[in-house]
Structure 1
């Protein structure tokens, strides 16, 4: 699930007079703007967005009551597609963080988890049954040994049961777009430089299971989880 923020900032001057609303797409790993390789579609509206000099997708004056949803469909960039209901769209600037796919080219030093959730582990040659559209929450253990901190926003498994989660830390501290860095938040690291991470998976039925495991700091880990092994 991508993170959506309402940001009340002036649009680029060339579009201020007639602008209705705009979408800012951000790479959730680098926080850089994404303005190419992706289609942004406003279903129900007649006009297509204009990409302005700042990389924003801007819609000019039109009847917003006809808007049904915003669809963000990556074509050549490694991000998950996003849909935004009309009720969530603000009249000024909307910021959307795009979640990376497993094929995303993570830079060295990135702490990330590429995971897959299946019903159960299978023997070699058998096909595992993926758990799709499940909500995945990740938390990391503070160096006080008792406090758990949320790892960014929630992730959602795709039809193949896969998800990707990236942790942004600043000098070992928690850093999020909408919150200041907290000097009192530092991850607990074991003797091998690994964080302690808690994963919780909630299915559409409402049932929930979790697991606790070590995760190397500054590396991208690939993990497979079996529902029948989670607690």
Structure 2
């Protein structure tokens, strides 16, 4: 799904770059450009896909984009909208100057795997349903957090306490019309998750509802036991019952 090598004529390379976006698969870490339709507001021209697979927009003075929209087409990702931060002024319009890519213009965006995404065997997957009362919660971002064994020091009266930090997976899920979601986690190279007796990893859910706030669920030690809230095997687990927003802890 990565963009093949593309060769552009020299005059195209000299044009002023205003903004670029790298869309990243959160499971594989690969840059994705094929099959997606990516657009921004305010600008009139379509983006160019460069050799690295970045979507690149040229300057259209004095216009500045504020929103980036991802339409996944037939790719296994969710549609998405992202804010674009304030951009610096574009470089001078001087073809004699070398082209230097300004990293301040690049926004790296993690794509969100859809239900059709084919998760590899090394991906931990959690599925469930989120509700508020009897109504499903739609459009919430759901991520898996894993507890690292690396200590995090916090200051308490007259002492320091080491708490294991929670690390958030970039492979978010999005709750659909019925509140259902799928979230995934691939541990980064060199990761050291906290383990308890007979367990491989401790995780919890982090749910972001935008203006409604962010909340987290209780700790889950995997592999799960029969009395735990999830059921499954290997790296695939599902919550036995709907998750109530009111039962989650605000952060």
Using the size of structure 1 for normalisation, the TM-score is: 0.69
Q: How many residues align?
A: 201
In structure 2, runs of 5+ residues without a counterpart are 1-7, 89-103, 152-162, 224-232
2:212 is the counterpart of 1:215: no
The residue number in structure 2 matching 1:226 is: 243
Partner-residue secondary structure (3-state), 1:211 = coil
Structure 1: tracts of 5 or more residues without a match: 1-11, 121-127, 175-184
Q: Which residue of 2 aligns with 1:151?
A: 168
**Alpha-carbon separation, structure 2, partners of 1:207 and 1:16:** 43
SS at match of 2:85: helix
CA shift, 1:102, in A, is 2.2
d(CA) in 1 for partners of 2:64 and 2:216?
41
CA–CA separation in structure 1 for the residues paired with 2:47 and 2:214: 41
Structure 1 counterpart of 2:183: 165
- Cα offsets for 1:138-193 (capped at 9, x unmatched): 4333458962422234946434323333323246x43xxxxxxxxxx3331542x4
Q: Counterpart of 2:30?
A: 32
Distance 1:144 1:51 in 2: 39
Query: How far apart are the structure 1 equivalents of 2:184 and 2:46?
Result: 32
Which residue of structure 2 aligns with residue 186 of structure 1?
193
1:129 maps to 2:147: no
Decide which of 89, 107, 121 is 2:120's aligned counterpart: 107
Residue 130 to residue 33, structure 1, CA distance change in 2 (3 Å): same
Change (3 A) 1:163 1:198: same
- Select between 37-46 and 49-58 the one with higher mean Cα deviation: 49-58
Answer whether contact 2:138 2:176 (CA < 8 A) is retained: yes
Name the counterpart of 2:43: 45
CA distance in 1, matches of 2:109, 2:214: 29
The aligned residue for residue 201 of structure 2 is 195
Question: For the residues of structure 2 that align with 1:45 and 1:144, how far apart are their CA atoms?
Answer: 45
RMSD: 3.4
Question: 2:95 corresponds to which residue?
Answer: none
1:54 positional shift: 2.6
Question: How has the CA–CA distance of structure 1 residues 196 and 41 changed in structure 2, closer, same or farther, with 3 Å as cutoff?
Answer: same
Q: Is the 8 A contact 1:79 1:99 kept in 2?
A: yes
Aligned partners of 1:88, 1:159: CA distance in 2, in Å? Answer: 31
Determine the structure 2 residue equivalent to 1:67.
65
Query: Hey, what does 1:3 align to over in structure 2?
Result: none
**Structure 1 residues 33-42 or 147-156, which shifts more?**
147-156
SS at match of 1:117: strand
Matches of 2:217 and 2:105, distance apart in 1: 39
- Tell me how far apart the structure 1 counterparts of residues 197 and 62 of structure 2 sit (CA, whole Å): 53
1:112 Cα deviation from its structure 2 partner? 2.6
